[in-house]
Every structure is written in C-alpha cells, then in structure tokens.
Amino acid sequence: MTPIPFIRTIFVLAVMLLLTVLPGVCHAFHVAAISIPAYGHFMPMKGIAEKLLLRGHRVTLFVETESWCASELANNATYDCVIMPNSGTFSKETLMELSQGSLTDSFTEIFKEILQHNREQLGNYLDAFQRVHGTHPFDMILMDLSTMVGFSLSKKFDVPHVSVFPLTMHMAIGSTTYLPSLGTEYPRKMSFTQRLYNFWLKVFVSGLSQILISEMNRAHELHNIPPMRSAAELAGFDGLIFAPTIWGHDIPQPLCPNIVPLGAFSPSVEHHPIEPELLTFLDTCANGAVYVNFGTLAVVGDSMFARVKEALYRLPFCVVWKVAEDDRRAQLPQDARFFVSKRFENPIAIMQHPSTHVFLTHCGDTSLMEAVQAELPLAGIPFFADQGDVCQRMDEAGIGRYVGHKHTFTADELESILVDVATSKRYKERIRDIHSISKLYGGVNRAADIIEERMANDLLRPDAFTESCGYLTEWSGLPKSNALVQEYDFLLIYFALIGLVCYGCVRCVRRCIGSHTLDTDNAQVYQGKSPSVKVVRRAKITD
C-alpha cells in the first residue's frame, strides 16, 4: 500500500492549520486614529481602533479633547495618545448654538466648521504626525470621514487610509434623487414638492464640492501636499469606507464595493460599571423606566424642558434623566420615581437593564446604534444636523416613534408616544429583529478582520486598491461613465419639459382670455357702446 494518500492528507491538514493561524501571527502594524472633536464621530472610529488594539496592534490616538485621551490611558495603557491643540472649531458652544436653529441651516454651519478645522489644524497635524511617524512609522490611518486632515496626511506621507462614515447612509451608486437629502427630515416616500426641492438641493450641494476641493488644494499648496483630484477622492472613495448601516433601518441603496456595511458598532469594552445607587433604583421599578438623554451638545430650551418635564411626571414609569444644568436639576420637584444626574458612567448598561422600556433621545447616530445593540425602542426629538433623518428612518423602521420638531411637539403628544413605545410589543420585537440583522454584518470584529487581511496582502495602498467604483475614480484606470451627469441631465430635461408645457399652457390661457375680451369689445361696438382706448385699438387692428 502506497503512503502517498496519507502524506497528501497530512499535507492538506498542515496547510489548513497554517491558514487558520496566519491571521493571528501576522505582524503587528501601527494605526493612526484621527477624528474631528465631535464625540459622535469619535466613537465609531474608537470601536474599530479598540478592536485592533486588543488584537495586538499599536494604535495612536490624535485627539483635541484631552479628556478622551486621559480616559483611554487610564483604562488601557497600551494606547499611545497625542493631544492636539484645540483650534476652537467644533467647540461645545458652537454645536450648542447650532442645536437651537433649524436642521438644514446647521449643515451649512458644520460645512464651514469642517473647512475651518482643516485650514487651521492641518499644520499642527502634519508636525505631530511627522514626529511619531519618524520614530514609529504608521502603516495606515483610521479616520472619521468628516476629518479632512486625515486625507491630507494620507497624501503627504503616502500612508493608506480607512474611513468611517458617521451619518445616515447616503452613498448610493448612480442616481440618488430617490434618497432624501441629509438634513431635510423627508420620508423615504417623498411627495412631488419634496422631490423637486430635494433635486435642486442636491444640485446645489454638488456645486459646493468644488468649493471644498479648491479650499483643500489651497491648503495643500501651502504644505507641499499633492492636490485633490476630484470630489470622489475627497469623499474617501480611493480607500475602504466602513458604514454603520443596517438593512431594514436605512433606505436600501446600491453601494460601491469599497463601502462595507458593518451594522451597529461601538466600543466593545465598557470601562465603567453602572452606578450602584442607579442599579438599585432600576431594580425597584416595577412598572419599568424611561431613559432620557439628549446628548452632550443639545441645548434644551426652557419651553421644551417644561413640556418634557410635564410629560414625564404624568407617566406611570420611573424616569432616569440626564440633566447637565445644575439650576435645572434644582428646579425638579423631589419624586421617588425620578433618578436625575449630570452624567452617567455607562449609558449602554442603563439601556440593557430589564426595567428600561424606552429611550427618549435626540436621535444621534451613536445613541441610535447603542439602542439597537441594547434592543431598546426609542422616541426621538432631533436638534441639528442629520438627527431629523435618523428619527425619520427610526420611525419608518418601526423601532420607535418620531415625536416631532423640538419647538412644536406638545406634552400630551410626548406622553402618548412614550406610553405607546413602552407598552407595545411591536417596537421591541422589531428592534430585536434589526439587532439580529445588525449582528450578521459583523461589526467591529469584521472591520478588524478586513483591515488585517488587506494589510497582510498590501491591498490598502491606492495603487493596489481595486474595490472602488470605476465611474467615480478616474485615476483608477477603469473606464469612467457619466452616471451622475446623466442623472442630472435627465432630471434637468424632465423639469425643462415640464416648464415648456407650463409655458405653453399659460400662453394658451392668455390667448383664450384675450380672444374672449376681443369678442366682448366687438359686441359692445356693434351695440353702439364706446369701448375703452385699449379696446378701440384692438378693434382697429381686427378690422
């Protein structure tokens, strides 16, 4: 009997074992993690960075908020941390002011903040990055997609980047006119008027991209950085993009192969236990509890605070309420059903407690993802940016209720919605389904797997990257189509035809009215009546 089959089997098993352990023994790489100083943008990126750190890779955080760095070092000393000077952009005061205005206007102001942050901080980031890169070279940059300095660093030092998309999903291939623009709060089934406004808003925004490119390239010229070549490159389409999107929550849309849906993801390691007194309070809430948290930046006006307070005091449930202002906490009457605090150490633990039945939120992207992971239904009141869109998608997905605009909802409406969400099983069942779908995407574990795989095979570099859409990346060597141009051309022709039809109808109506007036004047002349001067002239012309 020949031993060849046995040897072949041993060889195959050895190869399979080698392939299994290779990811675990691949060389550790150095990651630079960069985000604008906005906590909702920092948290998703932090979740992926944390997973890479736990797998033995080196992670250097570049932060402008010192407390973020201090908290990380206190809990996990293997983080490297570089504290950047704060330029004043995305300040707490600025974002609080934006939370009091309209959602659409806040996007314009945030756009200005992004430009100012890149203009004022690029030099500082270049110097700090160079100091670390010179002694411990970076292998990749993990960045929030809104952090323009990350793209500049990638170009300057020829380090590949991976981006994290922080907003409601809006990155479809081809025509996007069926997707409501961010900040409009439009439902997925828009009316004709909404579609018309949505189209012209997208045309306007597409023009703004050229302004952003020009602004970026002026800054690049000052620091000897290669220029941006297109809006697609500015949006990160020359690299991997991780997106916290979930089928059944976001509007379905075709995505480029370099955009990887990950479902809900946030840091997996919770460093702080729930407060003992809060845990005791929740354990004694026989009728359940409502968790109220409008984030760290939203400014709750006096009128809204009074309406929320009135609705909460009518409820038969316990209330766990984050109220940052000392004077407002002092105004609240003493009630055994209320647990009010300036901050909570572990919001996710509050959401996961069996007594917590509903989460009253500002519809921040991070808050929504945490609620999905905790399988806790929501009620939403948006304040600025894309929070209205998040509330709208939440309501359409059936995982909560959109209460209404912060200036217009009533205490009765809020009370009714909170009771409905807290007591109806359909919201709990639906968010449990959404969470199950979300887990299938893989979250931060899949993100770390993909990064390790691409790094091991040197597939993150732009010259080796093959997953982007050819029609968006003219530098990729693939044939460039005019899908986006065709979209706008088609719609422009469509609305131009509507305009011509309307113009023709107006002309016909005017002729009919003129003809009727002329017949009336002729009848008056025939009967011996004296028409006006204008009518006499028409009569002479007719004769």
pLDDT, tens digit (0-9, with 9 covering 90-100), for 126-146? 999 999 999 999 999 999 988
Return the higher-pLDDT residue of 421 and 507: 421
pLDDT tens digits for range 276-322: 999 999 999 999 999 999 987 777 888 999 999 999 999 999 999 99
In terms of C-beta distances under 8 Å and separation of at least 24 residues, what long-range contacts does 174-182 make, across chains too? 174/254, 174/483, 174/484, 174/487, 175/483, 175/487, 176/202, 176/253, 176/487, 177/202, 177/487, 177/491, 179/251, 179/253, 180/251, 180/389, 180/392, 181/205, 182/107, 182/385, 182/386, 182/389
Segment 175-178 long-range contacts (CB within 8 Å, at least 24 positions apart): 175/483, 175/487, 176/202, 176/253, 176/487, 177/202, 177/487, 177/491
- For β-strands 318-322 and 338-341, DSSP reports them as parallel
What residue ranges do the domains of the chain occupy?
25-173+230-265+442-478, 276-440, 484-542
**Residue-wise pLDDT tens digits, 255-265:** 888 889 999 87
Lowest mean pLDDT among 200-209, 433-442, 485-494: 485-494
Whole-number pLDDT of residue 175: 66
Separation in Å, CA 384 to CA 109, 129, 182, 459 = 11, 32, 11, 38
Domain 25-173+230-265+442-478 architecture: 3-Layer(aba) Sandwich (3.40)
25-173+230-265+442-478 and 276-440 agree in CATH topology: yes
The tally of CA atoms less than 13 A away on the side-chain side of residue 368 is 34
Q: Which CATH superfamily is domain 276-440 in?
A: Glycogen Phosphorylase B; (3.40.50.2000)
**Residues paired with 144 in a beta bridge:** 164
Q: What per-residue confidence (pLDDT) applies to 489?
A: 46
Q: Is the pLDDT of residue 184 over 90?
A: no
Residue 440: pLDDT band with limits 50, 70, 90: very high
Are 451 and 140 spatial neighbours (Cβ–Cβ below 8 Å)?
yes
Beta pairing partners, 318: 289
